[in-house]
Amino acid sequence: MEKTYKTRIGVMGGTFDPIHYGHLMIAENAREQFQLQKILFLPAGRPPHKQHITEAVHRCRMVSLAISGNPWFALDQTEVESDGVSYTYLTMQKLKQRYGDVELFFILGADSLFDFESWMKPEAILQNCNILAAYRDNTGSFFGQLEYLDQKYPGKFFPLDTPSLAVSSQDIRMRVQYGRTIRYLVPEEVEAYIRNHKFYQKTPERKDGT
């Protein structure tokens, strides 16, 4: 009897304020390396550690513009349509209930790998998904943390090799604020949306790197 394989869905979370080519590159490499049939871009609703972010409707619109040319990418508004603070463990429960018998892969950056155990109910997150941790170079600290988590939660953490692209949403916001170019850091449609809505021009400096 031929073995059947579960559908694999990636979940790319973040504030996406704004979404940029680094996000898209990580998602595309995850799709290729782990044979994902779909990747959901999941803008945060009310992140527990971030206070001043652009309204969700605009962040969702920028995501839609950025991913429109990739048939494997889709916008998911689970968190922005939910009441209360956005916790990953609750979101993954909702996605698992919605999609049923699939394998979910939550994609995060190398920095978040070190913070994972400080998240709300990490064990509950892992009950519903695996973790793909993106790294840009072969650093011992990253793989040491990955090995530690793999021993504690066997078979749940996987390294995701991505090209180096030193770009962050914080840097993009600051560049706009100071009148510097963001061309080639974000898709053209996203750049136009930012300019047309005059985002980030007079906002206070924020210390998060999303």
Nearest to 191 by CA among 14, 15, 53, 18: 18
Nearest to 86 by CA among 34, 50, 117, 128: 50
Residue 50 pLDDT > 70, yes or no? no
Least confident of 17-26, 58-67, 158-167, 198-207: 198-207
Q: Which domains does the chain have, with CATH numbers?
A: 7-165 (3.40.50.620)
Q: How does pLDDT run across 102-133, given as a tens digit for each residue?
A: 999 999 988 889 999 999 999 999 999 999 99
pLDDT number for residue 41 = 98
Average pLDDT for residues 61-74, to the nearest whole number?
A: 97
Give the distance, in angstroms, between the CA of residue 198 and the centroid of all CA atoms in the same chain.
Answer: 24
pLDDT number for residue 48 = 62
Q: For residues 40 and 93, give the distance between their C-alpha atoms in angstroms, rounded to a whole number.
A: 15
Q: Rounded to the nearest 10 degrees, what angle do helices 21-33 and 56-67 cross at?
A: 60
